[in-house]
Structure 1
Amino acid sequence: MTNKKVAIEQNLSTVRDYLSQEGYQCVNLDNQSQNGQGLDAIIISGADINVMGVENSTTQAPVINAHGLTPEDISKRLKQIQQQ
């Protein structure tokens, strides 16, 4: 069981459900959580990554792109991040 807190894009409900069962505290990814402060990771769908070719956001938390990953894959990545 973990007490880790992750922000997840709203459209990733399957990932949210799985990580909640794994003991993660899951919050919605919104403007307040995008800086990553107090978060162990941010999980995004990857659907709208850098469409305009401009990157102007910064975050203090690692970002995991969920595109093409299963909830189990994301859980493994979170555990790898925790070990670093």
Structure 2
Amino acid sequence: MARIGVEQSLTQVKEALMEMGHEIIDLQTEEDARQCDCCVVSGMDNNVMGMQDTVSEGQVINAQGYSAEEITQMVNERLS
């Protein structure tokens, strides 16, 4: 399965993805994001500093407004 980076605040998303067999990495640094196939972010501090640097070649999913089930579906669709 894939290596998925998930922000620490998204506990339900982490649990759902782990149940599906994905390896979960807590996103704390840019290096964490570089190691992932896909990243799930909360969107709470989206582009606060006006920076748009690309950190990861993988997919980034903004979880804001979605349930854990919807996010797991998005992850699986983007990784397939």
TM bracket, shorter-chain basis:
0.7 to 0.9
SS of the counterpart of 1:76?
helix
Q: How many residues align?
A: 79
Q: Which structure dedicates a bigger proportion of its chain to helix?
A: 2
Alignment equivalent of 2:74, drawn from 61, 65, 77? 77
Percent sequence identity over aligned pairs: 29
Unaligned runs of 5+ in 1: none
Counterpart among 22, 25, 46 of residue 24 in structure 1: 22
The Cα RMSD (Å) is: 1.3
Query: Which residue type is aligned with residue 32 of structure 2?
Result: S
Structure 2-normalised TM-score?
Answer: 0.87
Task: Provide structure 2 residue ranges, at least 5 long, that are not aligned to the other structure.
Answer: none
Question: Which entry has the higher C-alpha Rg, 1 or 2?
Answer: 1
The runs of at least 4 aligned residues of structure 1 exceeding 3 Å deviation read none
Q: How far apart in 1 are the matches of 2:75 and 2:27?
A: 16
